[in-house]
Amino acid sequence: MAIEKTLLIVKPEAFDKKDEIKDFIIKNSGLQIINSTTLILDDSDVEKIYIDDTGTNLLTAARRHLVGKPVEVCIIEGESAVEVIWELAGKDFDGNKCGPNTLRYVFGRLGTVKYDDVTYFLNAVHKTTPAEVSSALNWFYSK
């Protein structure tokens, strides 16, 4: 198995739980958080992080939800980190539909907000998809 890096963002609705979330990751993943920092995202940042959603209503909703608010950006490293974090975060947008030992179930069952025609789940974390990892890491290291 390969040593990988991935990026995870603690979103504004869970920002006050960022230390608990980072502890949960360390205790439940076997991975290391090698960098963690608080950022205020702008439109360009959100576009680079949500590259899979370019041109969609989800990207528009993510911008409205994230821009101008504090988030905690974590770089996580270890064996199969992308897959491990994908599983640990929870596969569904709805934290109630995620397994009980996932970040979105434990910290992200916070309801929804409606941005135009998009229901945006307040699920605590954004995990990068395998296709997003490279661009998300490049974005972070260019900050």
Measured from the Cβ of residue 42, the count of other Cβ atoms closer than 10 Å reads: 12
Q: What is the pLDDT of residues 76-130, one digit of tens each?
A: 999 999 999 999 999 999 999 999 999 999 999 999 999 999 999 999 999 998 9
Domain count, the chain: 1
Domain residues for the domain of 108 are 3-142
Terminal-residue alpha carbon distance, the chain: 29
Q: What is the pLDDT of residues 12-57, one digit of tens each?
A: 999 999 999 999 999 999 999 999 999 999 999 999 999 889 999 9
pTM beyond 0.85: the answer is yes
The enclosing domain of 123 has a CATH number of 3.30.70.141
For position 77, what pLDDT does the model report?
98
For position 111, what pLDDT does the model report?
97
